[in-house]
Amino acid sequence: MKKIAIQGIQGSNHYIVAQNYFGATSQLQECLSFDALVSSVVSESSDYGIMAIENTIAGSIIPNYALIDQHHLTITGEYYLNIHHHLMALENQKTEDIKEVYSHPMALLQCKEFFKNHPTIKLIEDVDTAEVAKRISENQLENIAAIAPKIAADLFGLAVLEDEIQTIKNNATRFVIVQKKVTEAIETKVNKASLKFELDHQRGSLAAMLNVMSDCQLNLTKIQSLPKIETPWKYAFFVDVTFDDYQNFAKAKAIIEIMALDFKILGEYKNGRDE
C-alpha cells in the first residue's frame, strides 16, 4: 500500500488529489505544513508527497519551489484540480449567525469578494481548510465557520451555508507529486519537465536560454524566478516545458547544461493537462 503525504487532513484539497491520483486504497500521512510533508518524504515515512505549487488566482506558491529544490525531491507527476470553496458550520447555524471564519490563507484570499458583503465577519488564517471543519464539528463551535471543500462538510457532519464562494469561478490549482527515490522515467510516457538553472549577469543570457528551448521545439509553460538568499541580487530560474518528442528535450538538456550554472532537472513526467 502506497503511503502518501498530504498537506492538510482528510477532506482537504490535497486529500481530494490523493484520492483521484492514487486511489482510495492509499495510506495517507496527514501533515499540517509543507515542511512536515517534505520531512515525511525525505525520511521515507511516505513514498510520495503531494504539494500545491500554483493557483490560477493566487499565482505560484514560491516557498514550495525552494523546498523541492533544497531537499532534492523529484517531481514524478502533476494533477490539476478545480477548486470549490464552501462556507460551512454546525447544522443549526445560518450565515448571519457567523462571527468568525477560519481557513487556510489561500482560501481566504480566493474568497475576498464574498466577505465584502459580510463586513461583520472576522477572517482568521489557519493551517488547513478541512482541519477547521473538523475542529468545529468535534468541539461543536457555534458562530464559527470554515471555508473548505464540500467533502469536508460530508465527512464532519456540517451544513453548507453558502456554495461556491470563490471570487473567480474558474479557479484551479496545480499539484505536483514528489518522491525521494525514483526509477528512471520511461521516455515514451514523458512529455513535460521541470528544470532549475542559474545564469550569469550578462545581457541577453536569459533570452539566449529561451531561444535554445524554442529551437529545440520545447513549449515554455512556466517560468518563475527565486532569489538566492545566500547571494543577494542573484536568482535561480524554475522552468516548466512540454514537448512532443523526448529527443528534442534531450538535445535541449545537453545545450542548457553547457550554458547554465547549477543546472538541475527537478522532474520528467506526464503532462497532467493531457488527462
Residue 64 shares a structural domain with residue 175: yes
Phi-psi region of 189 (alpha: psi -120 to 50; beta: other; left: phi over 0): alpha
Same-domain check for residues 69 and 175: yes
105 within some domain: yes
For residue 217, give the nearest of 193, 242, 192, 184 by alpha carbon. 242
> Is residue 11 domain-shared with residue 42, that is, in the same domain?
yes
Listed residues 179, 207, 242: the one ending a domain: 179
My answer on whether 119 and 239 are in the same domain is no
Same domain, 65 and 198: no
Split the chain (275 residues) into runs of 10 and give each run's mean pLDDT.
94 96 92 96 96 89 93 96 97 97 93 95 95 97 98 98 93 96 76 93 88 96 87 86 96 95 93 83
Residues 12 and 78 both lie in one domain: yes
Domain end among 148, 179, 210? 179
Domain boundary pick from 125, 152, 179: 179
| E-only strand ranges, the chain | 3-7, 27-31, 48-55, 59-60, 74-82, 86-89, 100-103, 122-125, 144-148, 159-162, 172-179, 192-198, 219-227, 235-242, 261-269
At residue 1, the pLDDT reads 84
Same domain flag for 44 and 66: yes
pTM of structure: 0.91
Residue 184, in any domain of the structure: no
Q: Is 186 inside a domain boundary?
A: no
Q: Are residues 76 and 7 in the same domain?
A: yes
CATH of the domain at 107: 3.40.190.10
Task: Return the pLDDT at 120.
Answer: 96
User: Is the domain of 14 the same as that of 75?
Assistant: yes
* 230, part of any domain: yes
Q: What is the pLDDT of residues 187-214, one digit of tens each?
A: 778 999 999 999 877 788 899 999 999 9
Q: Do 97 and 69 have their domain in common?
A: no
27-31 and 144-148 strand pairing = unpaired
Identity of the amino acid at 84: H
- Between CA 130 and CA 229 the distance in angstroms is 33
Beta partners for residue 103, in sequence order: 125
Closest CA to 180 of 78, 261, 256, 67: 67
State how many domains the chain has: 3
Q: Whose CA is closest to 27, among 51, 8, 2, 7? A: 2
**Residue 147: domain span:** 89-162
Three cell numbers written together for 123: 477572517
- In a shared domain, residues 40 and 175: yes
pLDDT given at position 135 = 97
- Residue 185 domain flag: no
Q: What would the pLDDT profile of 140-168 be if each residue is shown by its tens digit?
A: 999 999 999 999 999 999 999 999 999 99
- Which strands form 192-198's sheet, in the order they lie side by side? 219-227, 235-242, 192-198, 261-269
Q: What is the CATH number of the domain that holds 242?
A: 3.30.70.260
Q: Supply 188's cell numbers.
A: 515514451
Q: Decide if 271 is inside a domain.
A: no
What cell numbers appear for 213 in the block? 528551448
Residue 34 lies in a domain: yes
Both 119 and 229 in a single domain?
no
pLDDT at 185: 64
- Look at residue 233 in the predicted model and tell me its pLDDT: 74
Q: Quick check: is 272 in a domain?
A: no
How many Å apart are CA 223 and CA 202, to the nearest integer? Answer: 19
